[in-house]
Amino acid sequence: MENELSDPTARHRFVRGLPDLSALLSEAAEFRSRRRRPFVVLSYAQSVDGSIAGRRRERIRLSGAESMHLTYSIRARCDVILVGIGTILADDPRLTVKQVDGPHPHPVVLDTRLRTPPAARLLQRPDVRPWLIHAPAAPPERIRRLSRSGADPMPCSAASDGRIDLPALMQALAERAVNSVMVEGGARVITSFLRQRLADVVIVTISPQLVGGLPVIDPGESDRTLDLHIDHPFYQTLGRDLVIWGRPRWTAA
Q: Which residues bind ligand NAP (CB under 6 A)?
A: 44-45, 52-53, 57-59, 62, 83-87, 90-91, 110-113, 115, 163-164, 166, 184-189, 192, 218
Q: Which is nearer to ligand NAP, 29 or 217 (CB)?
A: 217
Please, which residue, 13 or 138, has the CB nearer to ligand NAP? 138
Length of the chain: 253
| Cβ closest to ligand NAP, residue 1 vs residue 23 | 1
Q: In the bound complex, what is the minimum distance in angstroms from residue 11's beta carbon to ligand NAP?
A: 28
Q: What is the nearest approach in angstroms of ligand NAP to the Cβ of residue 26?
A: 25
Min dist. Cβ of residue 247 to ligand NAP (A): 19
State the nearest-atom distance from the C-beta of 212 to ligand NAP, in Å. Answer: 14
Nearest to 221 by CA among 183, 192, 184: 192
Coil, strand or helix: which one is 103? coil
Alpha helices in 4-64 (DSSP H): 8-11, 18-26, 28-35
In one-letter notation, the amino acid at residue 12 is: H
Distances, alpha carbon 122 to alpha carbons 60, 127, 132, in Å: 19, 10, 11
33 versus 157: smaller Cβ distance to ligand NAP: 157
Q: Hey, how many other C-beta atoms are within 10 angstroms of the C-beta on 149?
A: 15
